[in-house]
Amino acid sequence: MSMLQEFKSFAMKGNVMDLAVGVIIGAAFGKIVDSVVNDLIMPLVGRVTGGLDFSNYFVALKDIPAGTPLTLDAVKKAGVPVFAYGNFITIVLYFIILAWIIFIMVKWINKLKAEAPEAPAAEPEDVKLLREIRDALKK
């Protein structure tokens, strides 16, 4: 079998197609969750913590040129290497919030799935015929 035929059979398997659809939906879902975190939750976290913004917490590993604003972006643009621990803290908080939102959503979806009653399985045709024969013999 040629490599092209092997690839075609691999790509057309159900699992690969399901994965592709999952990745596409996941990307779109990621934007929704990103908006929830950035536009709804992080402003509340900032309000509760008194406007605390970890993203500008850093340690300059070299002298900062005079006149450079003491923000992470400005110091990086000035070419100063920095140990940006505040940005790391922000990303970790973002991950924790994102993981919590996804956990709640999956839990909610699983609850909706559990509530749907399953339809009873259809009785096989041979069982129906055997019952009819039995009933006819009883008469």
At 94-123, the pLDDT tens digits run 788 778 888 888 888 888 877 666 777 788
In a domain, 138, yes or no: no
Residue position matching structure tokens 């850093």: 58
User: Which of 59, 46, 48 lies closest to 86, judged by CA?
Assistant: 59
The 10s digit of each residue's pLDDT in 61-90 is: 989 999 889 888 899 999 999 998 888 887
Q: How far is Cα 53 from Cα 71, in angstroms, rounded to an integer?
A: 11
In a domain, 139, yes or no: no
In a domain, 69, yes or no: yes
CB 53 within 8 Å of CB 46:
yes
Residue 14: what pLDDT?
67
Residue 47: what pLDDT?
85
Q: Rounded mean pLDDT of 115-139?
A: 82
Q: How far is CA 23 from CA 12, 16, 86, in A?
A: 16, 11, 31
Same domain, 35 and 76: no
Same domain, 57 and 114: yes
The 10s digit of each residue's pLDDT in 1-34 is: 688 888 877 777 767 777 888 888 888 877 887 7
Cβ contacts of 87 within 8 Å, gap of 6 or more? 54, 55, 57, 58, 72
Does this model's pTM top 0.75? My answer is no
Same domain, 107 and 59: yes
Same domain, 44 and 58: no
Q: Which domain holds residue 27?
A: 1-50
| Mean of per-residue pLDDT scores for the chain | 83
